[in-house]
Amino acid sequence: MSEKIGNQIIRLKEIDSTNSYLKARKNLLRRHGLVVIAEMQNSGRGRAGRKFTSVIGSNLTFSVVLHPNLPVQEIQIFTLLAGVAVARVLENYVNNIRLKWPNDVLVNEKKICGILLETITIPDKSFPVLIMGIGLNTKGHINDYPGELQNIVTTIEYELSSISNKTLKTQMAPVLKNEKIFQQLLLELDSCVEEFNPVSINSKINEKYHSGRTSLLQEWLLRANALGRNVCSFYNEAERSKDSGIIGKIVGLTREGYLQIRTDSGQIQTHVSGDIIDMKG
């Protein structure tokens, strides 16, 4: 992955989804580091088919093409990598940032960013190409969002205004520029890929690969405040509707980036997909 992330940027006014845009244009998927950004997504997608709500001028919504040269079972870790990169950038603006498995970034326990990874196979590539979609709420008030989301989402601007109000009534929150935050995200993503991913993956996994991956998992666990957290894991919506999930404490991550949960009986369960709900106590 020698090309820098952001080496080519396609800018769109309005689109259904930046991930969908790339999936429909396989010629663009040949360029590692290519980025598609849209001012407005009218059919943005989240994990498990959920909708990502975009408010015009208030979100950063973009997708990055990556060639990690890894088998599909190794791709999950890039969701954690993206979360770490977003958290590092957000630290320049707000406090109380927490990562939530697998793809959410929270501020004061409200969602500020979602990440969607998708893989696609193209000719002449032995491993799948990765499309990394990121949607970050930058500007606006929580009242700009649909009523059912107002208690669970936040924005950088809203959090900054809250900080200003608490510290000094006359203090004004700094003016946010989406383009500046966008460029910061591209730089941090590129830095994280360089830091956590091997220069090349051959048949033998090298020492740098082990070291980088271990560092990533450790940083994610720290930023998620995950170890010892009481959670309930659901494999699908049917389990959730029946309240039949697995309850336990998070004890770590597998090398692929999946959660490990110790149940009350002492068994270690690996959570590969589905929802994780925080439990009190």
52/182 same-domain check? yes
Write the pLDDT tens digit of every residue in 213-249: 899 999 999 999 999 999 998 875 555 545 668 899 9
List CB contacts of 79: < 8 A, sequence separation 6 or more: 102, 103, 115, 117, 257
User: Would you state the pLDDT for residue 114?
Assistant: 94
204/106 same-domain check? yes
Contact call for residues 39 and 56 (beta carbons, < 8 A) = yes
Answer whether residue 4 is part of any domain: no
Torsion angle of C-alpha atoms 3, 5, 11, 16, degrees rounded to 10: 110
Answer whether residue 22 is part of any domain: yes
Element (H, E) at 117: strand 110-120
51 pLDDT above the threshold of 90: no
Name the token pair of 217: 């998992």
As a whole number, mean pLDDT of residues 38-59 equals 66
- Out of 223, 238, 256, a domain closes at 223
264/176 same-domain check? no
Of the two residues 277 and 207, the one the predictor is more confident about is: 277
Of the two residues 109 and 245, the one the predictor is more confident about is: 109
Domain total for the chain?
2
Answer whether residue 191 is part of any domain: yes
DSSP per residue over 16-27, as a string?
Answer: S-HHHHHHT-TT
User: Would you state the pLDDT for residue 236?
Assistant: 58
45/149 same-domain check? yes
199 pLDDT above the threshold of 60: no
217/245 same-domain check? no
201/244 same-domain check? no
33/143 same-domain check? yes
131/209 same-domain check? yes
What CATH number does the domain containing 15 carry? 3.30.930.10
Answer whether residue 1 is part of any domain: no
User: Would you state the pLDDT for residue 160?
Assistant: 92
Q: Which of 118-122, 127-131, 210-214 has the lowest average pLDDT? A: 210-214
CA dist 80 and 190 (Å) reads: 14
Q: Is residue 1 very low, low, confident or very high in pLDDT (cuts 50, 70, 90)?
A: low
Domain that holds residue 232: 227-278
- Out of 207, 223, 239, a domain closes at 223
> Cα 118–139–114 angle (5° rounding)?
20
Answer whether residue 3 is part of any domain: no
Closest CA to 272 of 8, 56, 75: 75
Answer whether residue 73 is part of any domain: yes
Answer whether residue 56 is part of any domain: yes
Please identify which residue in the block is written with the tokens 């997608």: 45
- Out of 198, 223, 248, a domain closes at 223
User: Would you state the pLDDT for residue 169?
Assistant: 46
Q: In a 3-state reduction of DSSP, which class is residue 133?
A: strand
Name the token pair of 183: 């460029």
User: Would you state the pLDDT for residue 281?
Assistant: 57
Answer whether residue 237 is part of any domain: yes
150/166 same-domain check? yes
Name the token pair of 214: 């271990």
pTM, full prediction = 0.88
What CATH number does the domain containing 266 carry? 2.30.30.100
Name the token pair of 5: 């992330």
Name the token pair of 251: 């004890």
239/206 same-domain check? no
138/39 same-domain check? yes
Reported for 235-238, long-range contacts at CB under 8 A and 24+ positions apart, including other chains, are 235/273, 235/274, 236/274
Q: Is residue 273 very low, low, confident or very high in pLDDT (cuts 50, 70, 90)?
A: confident
Write the pLDDT tens digit of every residue in 59-104: 899 999 999 988 988 899 999 999 999 999 999 999 999 999 999 9
Write the pLDDT tens digit of every residue in 130-189: 999 999 999 988 887 778 888 899 999 999 987 766 655 445 556 789 999 999 999 999
Closest CA to 106 of 120, 95, 117: 95
18/84 same-domain check? yes
